[in-house]
Chain A
Amino acid sequence: MKIDRRSFLAMSVGGAVGTALTPLPWKIQDDLAIWTQMWPWTPFPPDGENTYVNSVSTLCGGGCGITVRKVGERAVKIEGREDYPTNQGGICNLCASGLQMLYGPTRIPYPMKRLGERGANQWVRLSWEEAISMVAEQLGEIRQAGQPETVACLSTRPYGSMPALLKRFMTAYGSPNFMTTPSMMDAYDMTLKRMHGVDGRMGFDLENADYVLSFGSGLIEGWGNTVHMIRINSKWKDTNAVLKQIEPRLSNTAAKADQWIPILPGTEGILALGIGYVIIKESLYDYDFVNNFSAGFDEFRRAVLSGYSPGNVSKQTGVDQSTIVALAREFARARRPLALCGRGQGTVPGGFGEYVAVHALNALVGNINRPGGAWAMPRPEMDGWLEPVLDAPAEAGLAKPRLDGAGSAAFPFAGQLFNRVPVALKAGEPYPCQALLVYDANPLFSMPGSGMVREALQQIPFILSFASHMDETAMMADIILPNLSHLERWEDVPVTEGFHRPMLGLAQPVVDPQFDTLHAGDTLLQLAAALGGTVAASLPWENYEACLKEALSPRWAELEDRGYWIDENFTPDDWSLAFPTVSGKFDFAVSGADLKTLFAMTAPQGDDGSYNLKLIPYDSVRIANGAVGSPPFLIKIVSDKVLKGKTVLVEVNPETARAAGFGEGDQAVLKTPLGDAAVRVHLSDGLMPGLVAMPRGLGHTAYDRYLAQKGVNANDLIGSVEDTASGLDATWGILASLVKA
């Protein structure tokens, strides 16, 4: 075909028309517009009146004062309360993400009953009346059968009106089995009881300490009250106080410390005894305190001098002899030295011997009940309530031993040992558990040996959860009576966790309930009323608010007005009055314990020679690992050297990794006696050779797509190891190996 002018023009025009008719240019323009313009699907948050509501956060044990900015009815920002004594305007990353928990899709919207297999996450909605009567019927039957003791209850926090109300309910019902999830505070309670003779809680005057020996405590990573501790760390920088961090891994705390002293995991207590050896041997201890206000020093000295010379200790701990001697001299010569323990965030107590060894250092230098020292504090009590009324079945039930063995002949000094429950249930001793009430706790995720915990939960025929978010334990429940979220409810929040003043905060509703949920306190009162009899008579309040007001009646006006109450002038007892032990003195001999056994190191699980490494869990300040899972903002700020896609990175010393043939980012299988997990390797010069470190708080199977199925739950790989001397969970890690994927 010949192309003439005519056909050329026709083709050009045809082409132009054709191009104009195809959707392509319009599509391209449209796309350009989408990429460059504001579009209606971008949310346009409505404006409204700005108000601020003060409250206290209950997301962790810290109990920081918060002020929530509201626009109209919406809560838009959580900030720290500047006039709150503990956090003074600061806020932690979890608390600052709190609105994602309030409004997020993981909220449990209404009461529900399990449908299908446990853990299948299939539910049918119930009305509150139905739900309460179903639970009351279940609990009523067990009580009718004369077995009220077979009902157990678990809470995370030990103090405050909610735990007290749950405990009261259990008492009136007839069960001795009220428990809290284990923590370092259990071990410190025991230390106080056995060395001071005090039934109370431990407080630390950290602000005034000038030399701090931390035996693995993540002081700025969630140990105690997170924000308060970070503030104190800053103060230490201003006052040139010294922090020595003793742990196998270069944690944030170690990074901020004046010296990081790497130590073989699980031997922290032995190092404390080595330091004690030098202090005793060189007579650096406080003569006045030791000679006049302590008993059992000879036994203690004998135990220490017989096996904990710097040479010996150095071999066991991997810490140089010279370092041990230097630490001892510095510690003893400091004006206000303080020794602390409780690994990481203290969510696993550790062996009792460690606490005795570390606390004995405070006693050796006489820094007990003194400024900058360790203080025996009274427990927060609910003094506004009358005693519960007990009928004969309740009396009979309460006379039974506890499921966890706390208070028994084997563990007379333990307040509670929830870590022993899985073992007890497996053995069927002393009796099976027929029902479990779970309040504000997620033991299936947060406790070492989650496999054992799962087995235990499977054995319990009826699990009632008060969860406000769908966590792992709630997914195992038969009925969920969802609690209001932390920003929708009243609650008193005693500040404990090592704080050295008696203090109480008041959480108040910031927004109206977003869902068909009910305050767990009200649920409990309704349950009691439905059960009737003495249970109802013991919990007679019309609603939780009335019950709370009565419990706090002496301080209610102040709490309502200011949002907190604090005893600023609290001072601990003078040495002459401080120790209600048999001798009336501080007891270095730990009320007659066999010190040699007490100080023996707890061996990790799996010692069969087939593992060449040790796996240690670590607590990260950027990952929530307790009763609450990490909200999206929190998981967003997790490093890509910790979590990449859905895979967790474990830290390994480059030398150890090279020997095993691993480089940065390599895939590997981490094996422990409890199971295998797919991981990646991150080479870290901040970890002792021979170890693998894994963060706690990942590997959720519940919650939303932002958190679930990411990484591995360290508790799946690390089992619970019982401290024979105390029954406490002494887990610090497990034997492991790393093989090619």
Chain B
Amino acid sequence: MKHSGNFGKPKRYGMVIDLDKCTGCGACMVACMAENNVPFKEDESKKLDSISWLQVYRLTNGKPYPDAEVCYLPRPCQHCAGKHEGHSPCVSVCPATATDYDQQTGIVSQIYTRCFGCRYCMGACPYHARHFNWWDPVWPKGMEKYLNPDVSARMRGIVEKCNFCFQRYQKATEKAHAEGRRDLEENEYQTACTQACPAGAIIFGDLNNPKHAVHQIAKPNLKKGGQPQNPKAFRLLEELETNTKVYYLSSKQWVQDAIHKPHLLDQKEAHH
């Protein structure tokens, strides 16, 4: 994705997800699968081999009835920058340069044709954001008609993950170029999940741009690895210094505490 060109000032595209608003409906997951040609198979209840770039977790406060509380947490790829831009856990371990950090957008890419399926990146990712294709995708007869031509279908033996709908960024920049513009408007490039969310819980934009809502809400401190300065905002596993680009908002203390426990994102532990 180094080919995204020198287009305006470098961006750091990121998200703010309001967990107080997220209802756990899963429209984001479906919108993502529809946009990105994510396959499906007969039994998707084995969540370890079920491919979903965006996973909505169901967190509980662990208290017994009637004090139980539930919070839904959508988890796309966190697009880690690491200690310096580009030091993402997955990028660091990929022997094939199949996953790369785009300095222009801050997006962690996945280049399917380069990937040979060693799955080091899956081991390195602390967020379980990566999925391996154990089978070739099969669409029932007729359904291949809805496939998006902007996203290549993946084959068996490679890893895939969320790329913030990079094809939409490409389309938007192409259009801007054609119109002689150097920059994108905030609403010109939005991910499929952001667009679909009925709750308006997902906000997407350039974290570097003070005019964008994500910057205004998360208030990232660029000197401190992008740490949020909004007290309601937090990032998953902040202590790993992955410097992620997905910020979460919650007014509940137990939710803010819960996200520091890596096992909560373990697929066996709390998968919904």
The residues of A with any CB-CB pair to B shorter than 8 Å are 34-39, 41-48, 71, 74-80, 87, 89-93, 96-97, 99-100, 102-105, 107, 220-221, 226-227, 230-231, 233-234, 237, 250, 252, 255-256, 260, 262, 514, 621-622, 632-641, 643-646, 653-655, 684-689, 704-706
Contact with A along B67-100 (1 / 0, CB 8 A): 1111110000000000000000000000000000
By a CB distance below 8 angstroms, the chain B residues around A686 are 60, 65, 68, 70
- Flag if B34 contacts A97 (CB, 8 Å): yes
- How far, in angstroms, from A90 to B192 measured CA to CA in the complex? 11
Q: Which residue of A lies closest to B27 (CB)?
A: A93
- Flag if B144 contacts A654 (CB, 8 Å): no
- How far, in angstroms, from A637 to B51 measured CA to CA in the complex? 10
- Flag if B45 contacts A643 (CB, 8 Å): yes
- Flag if B141 contacts A105 (CB, 8 Å): yes
- Flag if B30 contacts A637 (CB, 8 Å): yes
- Flag if B149 contacts A47 (CB, 8 Å): yes
Taking A36-B116, A76-B146 as given, write out 6 further A-B residue pairs in contact, using a Cβ cutoff of 8 Å, ordered by the A residue number.
A34-B156, A36-B157, A43-B147, A252-B72, A646-B43, A685-B63
- Flag if B33 contacts A104 (CB, 8 Å): no
- Flag if A641 contacts B272 (CB, 8 Å): yes
By a CB distance below 8 angstroms, the chain A residues around B112 are 38
By a CB distance below 8 angstroms, the chain B residues around A255 are 24, 69-72
Q: Which of A46, A640, A654 contacts B47 (CB 8 A)?
A: A640
Q: Which of B25, B35, B45 contacts A252 (CB 8 A)?
A: B25
Contacting A at CB under 8 A, from B97-151, are 112-113, 115-117, 136-137, 139-149
- How far, in angstroms, from A36 to B118 measured CA to CA in the complex? 10
Q: Identify 19 residue pairs between A and B in the complex whose beta-carbon atoms are under 8 Å apart, listed by A's number.
A: A34-B157, A38-B113, A43-B153, A76-B147, A92-B27, A92-B198, A93-B29, A102-B146, A104-B142, A107-B142, A233-B199, A234-B201, A237-B21, A255-B24, A633-B34, A641-B58, A685-B63, A686-B60, A686-B65
- Flag if A71 contacts B149 (CB, 8 Å): yes
By a CB distance below 8 angstroms, the chain A residues around B66 are 260, 262, 688
Q: Which residue of B lies closest to A634 (CB)?
A: B30
Nearest CB on A from B123, distance (A): 18
> Given A91-B27, A220-B25, A621-B25: A99 and B43 within 8 A (CB)?
no
Q: Name, among B56, B154, B155, the residue most crowded by chain A CB atoms within 10 Å (CB to CB).
A: B155
By a CB distance below 8 angstroms, the chain A residues around B34 are 77-78, 96-97, 99, 633
By a CB distance below 8 angstroms, the chain B residues around A97 are 30, 34
- Flag if A230 contacts B196 (CB, 8 Å): no
Q: Which of A39, A104, A645 contacts B143 (CB 8 A)?
A: A104
- How far, in angstroms, from A476 to B67 measured CA to CA in the complex? 46
- Flag if B144 contacts A43 (CB, 8 Å): yes
B231 at the A/B interface (Cβ < 8 Å)? no
Q: Which residue of A lies closest to B46 (CB)?
A: A640
Q: Which residue of A lies closest to B33 (CB)?
A: A633
Q: Which of A42, A637, A704 contacts B52 (CB 8 A)?
A: A637
- Flag if B30 contacts A89 (CB, 8 Å): no
By a CB distance below 8 angstroms, the chain B residues around A104 are 140, 142-143
- Flag if A621 contacts B23 (CB, 8 Å): yes
Contacting A at CB under 8 A, from B21-59, are 21, 23-27, 29-31, 33-35, 37, 40, 42-47, 50, 52, 56, 58
Q: Which residue of B lies closest to A92 (CB)?
A: B27
- Flag if A233 contacts B23 (CB, 8 Å): yes
Q: Which residue of B lies closest to A222 (CB)?
A: B25
Q: Which residue of B lies closest to A636 (CB)?
A: B44
- Flag if B52 contacts A226 (CB, 8 Å): no
Nearest CB on A from B19, distance (A): 10
- How far, in angstroms, from A200 to B168 measured CA to CA in the complex? 46
Q: Which of A90, A100, A103, A226 contacts B197 (CB 8 A)?
A: A90
Nearest CB on B from A330, distance (A): 19
By a CB distance below 8 angstroms, the chain A residues around B155 are 37-39, 42
Q: Which residue of B lies closest to A47 (CB)?
A: B149
Question: What 7 A-B pairs are tightest by C-beta distance, nearest first?
Answer: A35-B157, A90-B198, A685-B68, A45-B147, A230-B198, A99-B146, A255-B70
Nearest CB on A from B49, distance (A): 12
By a CB distance below 8 angstroms, the chain B residues around A641 are 58, 271-272
- How far, in angstroms, from A682 to B111 measured CA to CA in the complex? 40
B188 at the A/B interface (Cβ < 8 Å)? no
Q: Which residue of B lies closest to A95 (CB)?
A: B27
By a CB distance below 8 angstroms, the chain B residues around A635 are 44
- How far, in angstroms, from A644 to B140 measured CA to CA in the complex? 22
By a CB distance below 8 angstroms, the chain B residues around A645 are 43, 45
B195 at the A/B interface (Cβ < 8 Å)? yes
- Flag if B146 contacts A75 (CB, 8 Å): yes
- Flag if B200 contacts A231 (CB, 8 Å): yes
Q: Which of A36, A42, A252, A706 contacts B136 (CB 8 A)?
A: A42
By a CB distance below 8 angstroms, the chain A residues around B33 are 633, 636
Q: Name, among A89, A103, A633, A654, the residue most crowded by chain B CB atoms within 10 Å (CB to CB).
A: A633
- How far, in angstroms, from A230 to B23 measured CA to CA in the complex? 8
> Given A35-B156, A637-B30: A622 and B25 within 8 A (CB)?
yes
> Given A644-B45, A654-B64: A96 and B146 within 8 A (CB)?
no
Q: Which residue of B lies closest to A635 (CB)?
A: B44
- How far, in angstroms, from A689 to B158 measured CA to CA in the complex? 46
By a CB distance below 8 angstroms, the chain A residues around B30 are 93, 96-97, 633-634, 637
Q: Which of B35, B42, B65, B149 contacts A705 (CB 8 A)?
A: B42
Contact with A along B155-192 (1 / 0, CB 8 A): 11110000000000000000000000000000000001
Q: Which residue of B lies closest to A96 (CB)?
A: B30
Q: Which residue of A lies closest to B137 (CB)?
A: A42
By a CB distance below 8 angstroms, the chain B residues around A39 are 136, 155
- How far, in angstroms, from A197 to B136 measured CA to CA in the complex? 62
Nearest CB on A from B151, distance (A): 8
By a CB distance below 8 angstroms, the chain A residues around B116 are 35-36
By a CB distance below 8 angstroms, the chain A residues around B241 are none
- How far, in angstroms, from A256 to B148 measured CA to CA in the complex? 34
- How far, in angstroms, from A43 to B147 measured CA to CA in the complex? 8
Nearest CB on B from A605, distance (A): 26
- How far, in angstroms, from A688 to B35 measured CA to CA in the complex? 40
